[in-house]
Amino acid sequence: MPKAGKILADLNISDFIRDMGLAIAEAQAKLDTNSVDQTLRMGQTVLPGMTQNLLSLGLRPAFYHFQYADLEVNLNVYYSTTVDVDVNFNYDRENESSEYSLETSSASGSATLTVQDGEGIPPYACLALVANAPGHLTVGTTSYALDGGVGPNSTGLPVTRQDTLWETAQELLVALRNNSVWTNQATGDLQGVFMDWEMQSGVTASTNRPDLYAINRSVITVRTSPQAAPGDNLVIARLGSVTPAPALLLPATSGTRYTSTAATVGAALADIGQQVDPAAFVVVSGADCNRAIYFDTDVHDVPTTTYGTDREPSAVLDAVAALLAEHPSASLDLEGWADLRTPPAPGYNQRLSQKRADFVLRALTSRGVAASRLKARGMGATVSFSGSDLAANRRVVFQFTGVPAALVARTVAATAAFDPTGADREARIVPRTRAPANAPTTAVVTFRGTDFTQGTASQGTTFAVGATAESTAANLARAIRDANANTAFGAFARGDRVYLYGTGDHALFTLFARTPTAPALSAAGSIRVARRFGDGRPPASPQPRDTVVIDNVQLVAVETGVAPQPGQFTLGVTAADTARNLAAAITAGSSSGLLAAGLQAQSAGTIVTVSGPSGTMLGTSNPAAFLLSANRIGGKPSADREESSERELRALNVDAHLAVKYELSVSGSSTIKARLVAVPAPPQFLQAIGDYLQRWYP
């Protein structure tokens, strides 16, 4: 048995001390990092109603330092050994026979082909406009000089600096889009440009009327009643049949009769809605809705108010939100679309359509709809709504689940009813917005300690309620901006939303290259490169004229919307669509004799499984877009075989067992004592932090 002293000598007490020292060093580093982060946050935090940050007000971070640490260990050791020996002998004799046969199987197998992003995304880069100051930018062969440029970088297309950072960002956006294929198809360097507003300052506002001005951090959604609206109530009418012919009474019993003799429920509700609220009535029949939210070219963050008869997007969104509130178990799919142009920009359109759907989702959540009931999907480019009217394809479509046939329209009536009545028809009035109890008559929005009062005319800190929610938002943003002139704070309006901004907020541009080859990119001054273009490799996505080869027969990809000929397959809006079209082309080719007999293809999502004769060759001209599991269809043929055998088995078995059991038990306790003291931040450190914030967050 080992000596107890030997066991104690083998214990790595030094490891305890080393681990304790490393743990203290790691804790010290984390404490120091936390103190530096606190300093930066204090320098970036401005309390509402104040202009100085917390550092300027004298608040200082604390630094902590370990002075000493003690380690105390107590151990109890128990050790024992047990030996066990056992030997057994036995003799076995056994006759064994076996017989089996193996039949020939057919020579067939399968391989898979995975379709990457079905629309193709060219290289893209990101730029940030961080200050309303001179800057310079070069993209490809084109340079831009913002407010005269910076130092030696003063040449290029002039971009005029405006009164606010937001307005200057809009000027730069226009200049960049003029260098894209939308306006300069011959030599434009860019496929397209997005601009998003990055809100990092954390500024916000408050209001005494959240029903009229819904505030979510730095965004105010205006819900005021437009002056020209037919009323601030909503009638929600449900209809199950058109027999007898329905008439809607507003108000009930003694009001105006709105009648219809249409043959279907959807048509009858549309007839009545056209009479009650022709500009913005909403009808849901089945999953479909008669309204959509439309957008101007390249725009995703504000609906248009000039297209067709759908010119009141805010009213449509109010109606959709009210309908979902009436049906708590219902859900809504939002399908974003973009127009299809020549030359096409499929990757750009996919991103654009998704951003449009996301915008409508946020607009509905600001109206009280739970995000869990909404699903936003970008569908890419299409001509399905109109082959000649591009604007008709720039939309977000509503697809309802769990909503019966219904009409929502604005009205001044306080009651509503169908005549004649019936169990399959109902009409009720709900308020468009719900004011809190004892809500004040005059609405006030407070930003940085200043009250901005809703009124009938705009003057000073009073803003006028406009003819639409969009014009009210513009008036409120202008009042806030004027009151904060010559500061880093302000506001701008996009549609019915007011965006508040402060120190650190900036415009972020996403630039899509015209070709897979990344163009040159450099920036100076107030313009900074946040992400450079990709490495110039071909996009990992199917492109027109890509080929999939099966035993030397080429299947050629054609553009979305083009009817495929034999030996062709159509690129879909999504990768799953492309996979489905390719699988259909392979199966059809086998049936027509273009491809080998026995070939079959099935798609599941983006994966195409090709089954057929083993050894069939597979290939593609774009292996980054069509990922092959193998270059041939797998599977091996098998041969017929029959065998039989008989044998006698004899064995002498010796079973010997030797076991040695050692038991070691160590128990005890340990105590670590450490002293931590706070020390003030070094003055030179605070000065360096102040210089950093002044430089990067002016």
pLDDT of 209 higher than 70: yes
- Contact between 500 and 693 under an 8 Å Cβ cutoff? The reply is no
Q: Which amino acid is at 633?
A: I
Position 354 scores a pLDDT of 92
Position 120 scores a pLDDT of 45
- Taking the C-alpha atoms of residue 474 and residue 314, their distance in angstroms, rounded to an integer, is 14
Helices and strands in the chain, H and E counts: 9, 38
Region at 202 (left for phi over 0; alpha for psi -120 to 50; beta for the rest): left
pLDDT tens digit sequence for 246-283: 999 999 988 999 999 999 999 999 999 999 999 999 99
Orientation angle between helical segments 13-44 and 683-696, nearest 10 degrees = 50
CA dihedral 321, 327, 330, 336 (to 10 degrees): -20
Tokens matching residue 269: 């509700």
CA atoms within 13 A on the CB side of 373: 21
Which of the 8 DSSP states describes residue 589? H
CB atoms within 10 A of CB 448: 20
Position 79 scores a pLDDT of 56
pLDDT tens digit sequence for 353-385: 999 999 999 999 999 999 999 999 998 888 889
* pLDDT averaged over every residue in the chain: 82
Tokens matching residue 144: 């831009």
Sign of the CA dihedral running 145, 149, 152, 154: positive
- Contact between 564 and 558 under an 8 Å Cβ cutoff? The reply is yes
Label the pairing between strands 135-139 and 142-146. antiparallel
- Taking the C-alpha atoms of residue 307 and residue 148, their distance in angstroms, rounded to an integer, is 38
Position 68 scores a pLDDT of 62
- Contact between 248 and 238 under an 8 Å Cβ cutoff? The reply is no
- Taking the C-alpha atoms of residue 60 and residue 469, their distance in angstroms, rounded to an integer, is 45
- Taking the C-alpha atoms of residue 400 and residue 169, their distance in angstroms, rounded to an integer, is 37
- Taking the C-alpha atoms of residue 52 and residue 653, their distance in angstroms, rounded to an integer, is 91
Q: Which amino acid is at 92?
A: D
pLDDT tens digit sequence for 305-361: 899 888 889 999 999 999 999 999 999 999 999 988 755 555 678 888 999 999 999
- Taking the C-alpha atoms of residue 137 and residue 505, their distance in angstroms, rounded to an integer, is 20
- Taking the C-alpha atoms of residue 557 and residue 115, their distance in angstroms, rounded to an integer, is 12
Read off the pLDDT band of 30 (50, 70, 90): confident
Region at 169 (left for phi over 0; alpha for psi -120 to 50; beta for the rest): alpha
Q: Is the N-terminal amide bond of 420 cis, ω within 30° of 0? A: yes
Position 442 scores a pLDDT of 93
Sign of the CA dihedral running 45, 47, 48, 51: negative
CB atoms within 10 A of CB 210: 16
Domain covering 108-118+540-628, topology:
Alpha-Beta Plaits (3.30.70)
- Taking the C-alpha atoms of residue 613 and residue 597, their distance in angstroms, rounded to an integer, is 9
Mean pLDDT of 550-556: 88
Read off the pLDDT band of 298 (50, 70, 90): confident
Domain ranges for the chain, please list them.
Answer: 4-83+668-696, 108-118+540-628, 124-199+505-531, 226-284+407-431, 287-404, 446-501
How wide is the angle at C-alpha 605 spanned by C-alphas 608 and 569, nearest 5°? 55
Nearest by Cα to 575 from 649, 630, 625: 625
Q: Which amino acid is at 72?
A: E
Nearest by Cα to 499 from 210, 296, 198, 297: 198
How wide is the angle at C-alpha 583 spanned by C-alphas 578 and 585, nearest 5°? 95
pLDDT tens digit sequence for 662-691: 565 556 666 666 666 666 767 676 667 666
Mean pLDDT of 30-34: 79
Position 119 scores a pLDDT of 44
Q: Which amino acid is at 358?
A: D
- Taking the C-alpha atoms of residue 556 and residue 578, their distance in angstroms, rounded to an integer, is 12
Percent of the chain predicted with pLDDT > 90: 43
The residue among 70 and 459 whose pLDDT is bigger is 459
Position 486 scores a pLDDT of 85
Tokens matching residue 288: 């479909």
Give the least confident one: 28-32, 181-185, 417-421: 181-185
- Taking the C-alpha atoms of residue 64 and residue 677, their distance in angstroms, rounded to an integer, is 6
Position 328 scores a pLDDT of 95
Position 438 scores a pLDDT of 87
pLDDT tens digit sequence for 232-255: 899 999 999 999 999 999 999 889
Mean pLDDT of 413-426: 94
Tokens matching residue 272: 């009545």
Read off the pLDDT band of 28 (50, 70, 90): confident
Percent of the chain predicted with pLDDT > 70: 77
CATH number of 287-404: 3.30.1330.60
Read off the pLDDT band of 208 (50, 70, 90): very high
- Taking the C-alpha atoms of residue 615 and residue 613, their distance in angstroms, rounded to an integer, is 6
pLDDT tens digit sequence for 477-491: 999 999 998 888 999
Q: Say which residues have a Cβ less than 8 Å from residue 525's Cβ, sequence separation at least 6.
A: 133, 134, 135, 136, 146, 149, 150, 153
Q: Is 49 helix (H, G, I), strand (E, B) or coil?
A: coil
Could you tell me the CA-to-CA distances from 136 to 132, 152, 155, 513 in Å, in that order? 12, 10, 8, 19
Position 671 scores a pLDDT of 66
Mean pLDDT of 98-103: 47
Mean pLDDT of 65-85: 60
What is 181-250 written as a DSSP string?
TTT-TTT-SEEEEEEEEE--S----EES-TTTEEEETTEEEE-PPPTT-S-SEEEEEEES--SSPPEEEE
561, exposed or middle or buried, with CB in 10 Å at 0-12, 13-18, 19+?
middle
Sign of the CA dihedral running 677, 678, 683, 687: positive
Its pTM stands at 0.61
Q: Which amino acid is at 255?
A: G
pLDDT of 618 higher than 50: yes
- Contact between 638 and 630 under an 8 Å Cβ cutoff? The reply is no
Mean pLDDT of 20-48: 75
Position 219 scores a pLDDT of 94
Which strands, in side-by-side order, build the sheet including 417-419? 256-259, 247-250, 417-419
Position 221 scores a pLDDT of 94
The residue among 55 and 229 whose pLDDT is bigger is 229
- Taking the C-alpha atoms of residue 385 and residue 37, their distance in angstroms, rounded to an integer, is 52
CB atoms within 10 A of CB 206: 13
pLDDT tens digit sequence for 517-549: 678 899 999 999 998 887 445 556 787 788 899
Q: Where are the beta strands (DSSP E) in 345-464?
A: 374-382, 395-401, 406-411, 417-419, 425-431, 444-447, 450-455, 462-464
Which strands, in side-by-side order, build the sheet including 462-464? 206-207, 444-447, 450-455, 462-464
- Looking at the DSSP bridge assignments, the partners of residue 258 are 248
pLDDT of 552 higher than 60: yes
